[in-house]
Amino acid sequence: MPNIVAFGASSSLNSINKKLAHFAALNVPNATVNLLDLNDFEMPLYSTDREKEGIPQKAHDFKAALKAADGIVISFAEHNGAYTTAFKNIFDWISRLEKPIWCGKPMFLLSTSTGARGAITVLELAHLRLSRDNPNIPTFSLPSFNETFDNNEGIINTELQAGFDKALAGFNAQLS
């Protein structure tokens, strides 16, 4: 049974990206899912000066969750075409711990928004950066979340579901 860590890269209390990440993780066959909330890992903004004071325990705790996982699912929210501050801050802090940053785990990167582009800009940015450590990361963007996703049924557009299934198959193959 694979252990999957999943989270929405957002601090929104009702994050649609957290919902999508959870949905994706639940679709990994026989998986145990550890759904993280970035609000539980809020830390001071990273700076080299703050790092000299010590890396916060919450960064160590987040990294420990990654290390315990067999795979990582992240769904990115887009703020002005980039990562949310909540995600970027955690990323900065955990990058100061041992390498590789994402523990060499298979990853599945997603994004969604209520708009027609589905936060594709941040997904491309995330893939560009995170694929440096893992060149075979599958991705999927879900546009128009409120029209294409149902909290009970998941992705309700058959064409989008087919794209999701293909990307998920790539992630599942890496877990084997």
Question: Which residues on adjacent β-strands are paired with residue 33?
Answer: 4
CA–CA distance, 43 with 35 (Å, rounded to integer): 19
Which whole number is the average pLDDT over 124-153? 95
pLDDT in tens, 106-137: 999 999 999 999 999 999 999 999 998 888 99
What's the CA gap between 116 and 7, in Å, rounded?
22
Specify the pLDDT at position 135.
84
For 75, the token pair is 């769904």
Give pLDDT tens digits for 62-83. 999 999 999 999 999 999 889 9
**Ramachandran class of 30: left when φ > 0, alpha when ψ lies in -120 to 50, beta otherwise:** left
Report the number of distinct structural domains present in the chain: 1
Q: Which domain holds residue 12?
A: 3-175
Residue 176 has pLDDT above 90, yes or no: no
Confidence of residue 160 (pLDDT cuts 50, 70, 90): very high
What number of residues does the chain have? 176
What is the sign, positive or negative, of the torsion defined by CA atoms of 79, 84, 88, 91?
Answer: negative
Cα-based angle 78, 84, 87 (whole degrees, multiple of 5): 125
Give the per-residue pLDDT at 107.
Answer: 98
Buried residues in 80-103 as b, exposed as e (16+ CB within 10 A): eeebbebbebbbebbeebeeebbb
Token pair 């705790």 in the structure block, residue: 61
Read off the CATH number of the domain in which 13 is found. Answer: 3.40.50.360
